[in-house]
């Protein structure tokens, strides 16, 4: 049976986000990242991790000021 590519454990989610597991725990504790608890396991959905990345996106200064980088 193939492993679901859309469900991540703590370790897998931290690797996906390129964060330490402690940083991921801090995000979870602060309510900054969506997770689910299934029985005693914490899981993350790919969609939620991608949404976190999108919410965390910052524009470059030149883009915000309307200037062009060259």
pLDDT value at residue 59: 75
Shortest CA distance to 34 belongs to which of 49, 19, 16, 55?
A: 49
Question: Where would I find the H helices in 1-70?
Answer: 10-17, 21-30, 46-55, 61-65
pLDDT of 14-67, one tens digit each? 999 999 999 999 999 999 999 999 999 999 999 999 999 999 988 777 655 566
Helix (H) or strand (E) holding 60: none
pTM of the complete model? 0.75
């Amino acid at each position: 049976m193939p492993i679901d590519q859309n469900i991540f454990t703590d370790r897998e989610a931290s690797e996906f986000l390129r964060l330490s597991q402690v940083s991921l725990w801090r995000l979870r504790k602060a309510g900054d990242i969506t997770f689910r608890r299934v029985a005693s396991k914490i899981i993350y959905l790919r969609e939620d991790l991608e949404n976190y990345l999108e919410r965390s996106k910052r524009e470059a200064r030149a883009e915000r000021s309307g200037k062009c980088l060259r």
